[in-house]
Chains A and B, each alone.
Chain A
Amino acid sequence: MNAVYASQLAFFAVHAPFDRMEMAHLLWMIARLKLGYYAQGEVIVAPEQGVVERFLVIKQGLVQGEQSVAHASDADTWLELTAGECFPLGALLAHRPVASLYRSVMDTFCYELPLADFHALLGLSAPFRDFCTRRIANLLEHSKQVIQAQYTQSSAEQQSLTSPLSSIICRAPVTCTPDTSVRDVLARMHELRVGSMIAVDEQGRPLGILTLPDVLERIALPQIDIDQAVIGIMTTQLTFLSPQALAYEAALTMAKLGFRHVLVVENERLVGLVSEKDLFALQRVGLRQIGSSIRHAKTCQEFQQSAADIRRMAHNMMAQGVTAEQLTQFISTFNDQLAARIVELEYAASGVSDSPFAGRLCWMALGSEGRFEQTLSTDQDNALIFTVPEGMTANNVREWILPVARRINETLALCGFPLCRGNVMASNPEWCLSLDEWKRKFSDWIVNGTPLALLHASIFFDFRSVQGAHDLAEGLRGWLMKVAVENARFLHQMAENALVIRPPLGLVRDFVVGKEHKLDLKLSGITPFVDAARIFSLATGITQTSTIQRLRASAASLKIHPSEIEAWVDAFMFIQVLRMRHHDEGQAQGLGDDELDNLIDPESLHELDRRILKEAFRQARKLQARLALEYHL
C-alpha cells in the first residue's frame, strides 16, 4: 500500500461513512482524491459555477454554506461544516449547481473527488451510497448504536421493546370452538397449563377469551353451570394488534386497559397471543404493574412511588433504544393515568362526584403533555372545561371547583410536576371555564392576534382530555378546527411568530451558542417543529395533537413529499432523545426535577451526535422555509 494512502486512512477511519466502507473501496477512493486548500474567506463552491463537479470532504478547517437571497426558500439552508463532513451531496446527486455558496471560514483543506468517480463510488460501495442518499436516517442508525453502547446497564441479550410482536410469539395460541363447554375448556387449560383460552370461528377469527382470573370471578364465585357454552362467559370485546406491531404497543395497550393478554391477528385470523409475561422478559419495570399501581394508588406516597417508577421505566427504555416518539408517548400515557387518578380521588374526597357537577367536568392536558411529548422535566400545564348546571352561573361553578383544582395541582407538584410558572393551571380562574367561555376566549385570541394571544394559542391549542367528560374537549376541538381554517389571517400571524425563533446556524462559533456556550434544545430545537406542526394542523383541519402525527397527517393536503416529512420527524425525534438523555444524565447526577434544563454544551456531545444535531437543525430550517413559503413570509 502506498504510504500516502496509509496516512490518509487514519483520517477516514474515524469519520462516517468512510469508517463503514470496505478497505478496497476506500483505497480506490483515496487514489482518486485531490487535496485542495482554501484560504479564509475563499469561495469553494458557488451556484454560478454551474453543475457541481466534485465531491468534497473537509480534512481540516471550517466551511459555511451561505444561502443566497434569491433562493430564500430553497431546500439547502444555512449550515456550518467541520472536519470529516461531506458536501454538496444534494447538488451532486441531482446533477445541479449548488443552491448555497460554500465558503471557508478559516484555512481549510478539502479532499476532492471528481464527479465521475463520485458516481462510480456510489455504485461500488453500499455504505457510501446509503450515507449519501439517506443522510439523516443513516446517521441516526449510527448514533442509536452509540447510545445503546453508552447505557451499559442494558444487557445485550435483552430483547428490545422495539421488536415486532411476530418475533415474540413463541407458540401457537390454544383455541377452542365457541360452543365448547366450560367444563372441557377448564380441563384443557389445566392439562396444557395455559393461562388463557381463545374461542375462534371456522375461519380462525377470534371471538372471545377466557383467562385464569375470570375462572374465579365468572365461574367459581357465581357457581354457574359449567356445561354451558364457554362463549357465554368469555370477554368478547377483544383488543387486536398486528404481528408487525411493536412490543411496546402491546405493553402500552396492556398498561392502558389493564389486560394481561393481547391478541395478535393477521388478516382477521388469530396468529398468536402475547402475554404480559412474554413482555415482562423485555423490561425491568413491568409496564402493566406501573399502570395497575397507579389505578389503585390512594395516598400521596403511592402517587410519588408511581411517579418514580415512571422515571425508572423511562431510563430503562432509553437504554433499550426505544425511539423518542414511543418514549414520550409512554411517559405521557402514564402521566395521564397518574393525573386522572389524582383528579378522581380528589373529586371523591371533595364530594364533586356526588355534586351536580359530576360528569360535567373535563380535566385537560395542555402544552407538551397535550402533545404526548412529555419528557422527564416538565411542569404542569392543565385546565378545566365544564358545563354549567341549570340554575347556576359559571362563577358559581368556579367558586366550587377552584379549591378542588388547587389541591389537585398541589398533589401533582408533590409527584414531580412542578407548579406552572406561568400559572397555566386549572386552579387559575382564567383557565377554569365553561365550554362557551372557552370558545369566546379562543375567538378573542384568533380575532385579535396580539403577541399574548399567540403565546396562549401555542399552549392551549394543544389541549387534550385527560379525565372526565371527554366530549367537552372533543366539542371544543371540533369547533376550533372550523374556526381556525376560516381565519387565514390568524394562521399567518402564528406562522410569522413561529419564524422568530431561528434554529442555530452552526455549533462552532460563539454567537451561535451564546455566551455560555450552551444550546437550548427546547427553544431552538423542538419549538420550530412543534410550532410549524401546530399551524399545519390548524390549516388542514387535523385533530391530532402530537407533533409527529400532525406533520404526517397534514403532508398530503400541503403536498409535501413523505420523505421530507420523515426527515423532519427523524430530526425532531433526535432532538427529543438528546433532551431526554440530558435529563437522564442530570438525574443520574442527583439533580432534582426543577433543576433539569434543556441547555447542552455542543462540545460535550459525541462527534456523530454533533453532526446529527446540526443536520436536525438544518431540517428545522427547511421546515421553517416551508412554513414561510406557505404564508408568503
Chain B
Amino acid sequence: MIGRLLGWLRSQHNLTQVQQHKLSDWRDIPSVTRPRAINSSRCVVVDVETSGLNLWEDRLISIGAVAVVNGKIDLGDCFYSVLQQETASDRENILLHGIGVFEQTEGVPAADALLAFLHFLQKDPLIAFHVTFDKTMIVRAMRKYLGYSFNHLWSDMAYVMPALNPELASRYRSLDEWLGHFDIRNDARHNALADALVTAQLFQVGAVQAKKRNIIDFVALRDLEKAQRWVSEVG
C-alpha cells in the first residue's frame, strides 16, 4: 500500500502540469451509472501491440482503437498511437507488428499517448478480444507512466462470441478463427488499429446476435460474459 502510494507520488511528480490537467479532466468526466443500450451509445474497441506475450515483462508498443457509435463503426472516430520506446523490441517482434526501430524510438512519449487514449475513450465501455492481455498491458502502462490505476468496464469478445454461438464454441478460440467464420477479412493483421477494426466488426455481429436474445445493454453483455467464463472454467 505504501509502495503504491509512493509510486503514485513519484509519478505525479513526473507528469507535467499540462499532463496532470489532462488526467484530472478525464477523471472528472462523470462515469456512466445507468446501463447503456449497445444500439444507441458509444463504445470503444481496442487492440494493442506489445514487445512480446509476457504480461508482466513485455512493454506496450502501440494502441489502436475505433469507436462504435449507435451500432456503427465510425471510421472518422478512431485512435492510433505508437508509444516511444527507450529500446526497440527485437527483430522477430518487429516482423510481427511491423513497427520498426525508428518508429518505436520516435513515437509519442508514453504519458502523452496514454492521455490521448483516455481523451479518445471518454468514459465509454471498452471492448476487446482476450481482454486480459490488452487490459493488463494498458493498466500496467497507465500505472507506470501516469501513476494512475485504470479501472474500467470491459467486454471480452473471446467470451461473448462463444456464449452467443455455443455450437461454435468448441471449435473456435482465436480471433482469426472467429473472423474466418464470419468471413471478416483483415488486410493488415497485427496492426493494432486494423485489428481493432475487425474486432469491432466481430462486435457488430455479436451485438445483433445478442439483441435477438434480448441482451441490449453493456451490463447484460457483461453478465453473459461472466456466465460464459463460469461455463468454460467448469468445462
Contacts and interface: CB of A to CB of B under 8 A. Distances in A.
Contacts of A11: 187
Nearest to A107: B182
A36 B68 CA distance: 10
Given A35-B73, A37-B201, A37-B204, A4 B78 contact: yes
Contacts of B215: none
Determine which residue in A31, A32, A34, A37 has the highest number of CB atoms from chain B within 10 A of its CB, and name it. Answer: A37
- Give the interface size class of chain A: 20 to 34
Contact of A35 (B64, B75, B191, B208): B75
B74 interface: yes
Contact of B74 (A2, A3, A10, A34): A34
Contact of B183 (A3, A35, A107): A107
A223 interface: no
A82 interface: no
B71 interface: yes
A39 B205 contact: yes
Contacts of A5: 75
B76 interface: yes
Choose among B64, B76, B80, B187 the residue with the greatest number of A CB atoms under 10 Å from its CB. B76
Interface string B96-139: 00000000000000000000000000000000000000000000
B205 A3 contact: no
Nearest to A54: B72
Nearest to B62: A3
Interface in B57-91: 64, 66, 69, 71-76, 78, 80
B38 interface: no
A42 B185 CA distance: 21
B163 interface: no
A109 interface: yes
A395 interface: no
Contact of B75 (A8, A42, A60, A107): A8
Nearest to A83: B185
Nearest to A42: B208
A109 B203 CA distance: 12
Contacts of B200: 35
Interface string B197-214: 100110011011100000
A111 B76 CA distance: 12
A33 B76 contact: yes
B193 interface: yes
Nearest to A37: B204
B9 interface: no
Contact of A3 (B191, B201, B207, B209): B191
A30 B209 CA distance: 27
B75 A3 contact: no
B197 A37 contact: no
B165 to A, nearest CB: 13
Nearest to B209: A39
B94 interface: no
Interface in A66-113: 107, 109, 111-112
Contacts of A32: 75-76
B76 A3 contact: no
B191 A7 contact: yes
A2 B183 contact: no
A460 B216 CA distance: 66
B183 A30 contact: no
A7 B188 contact: yes
Contact of B197 (A4, A36, A60, A107): A4
A244 B216 CA distance: 66
A2 B72 contact: no
Contact of A33 (B75, B187, B188): B75
A327 B76 CA distance: 49
Interface in A12-37: 30-37
B55 interface: no
Nearest to A109: B201
A37 B197 CA distance: 13
A60 B185 CA distance: 9
A7 B197 contact: yes
Interface string A175-211: 0000000000000000000000000000000000000
Contacts of A34: 69, 72-75
B194 interface: yes
Q: Which of B64, B74, B207 has the most CB of A within 10 A?
A: B74
B82 to A, nearest CB: 10
B42 to A, nearest CB: 12
Contacts of B72: 34-36, 112
A33 B182 CA distance: 22
A483 B153 CA distance: 81
Nearest to A6: B188
Nearest to B197: A4
Nearest to B73: A35
A20 B106 CA distance: 35
23 contacts: A2-B80, A3-B64, A3-B191, A3-B193, A4-B75, A6-B188, A7-B187, A7-B188, A7-B197, A8-B75, A10-B187, A35-B73, A37-B71, A37-B204, A37-B205, A37-B208, A39-B205, A39-B208, A60-B185, A107-B183, A107-B205, A109-B184, A112-B72
Given A10-B187, A37-B71, 9 more contacts: A2-B80, A3-B188, A33-B76, A35-B73, A35-B75, A35-B197, A35-B204, A36-B73, A107-B182
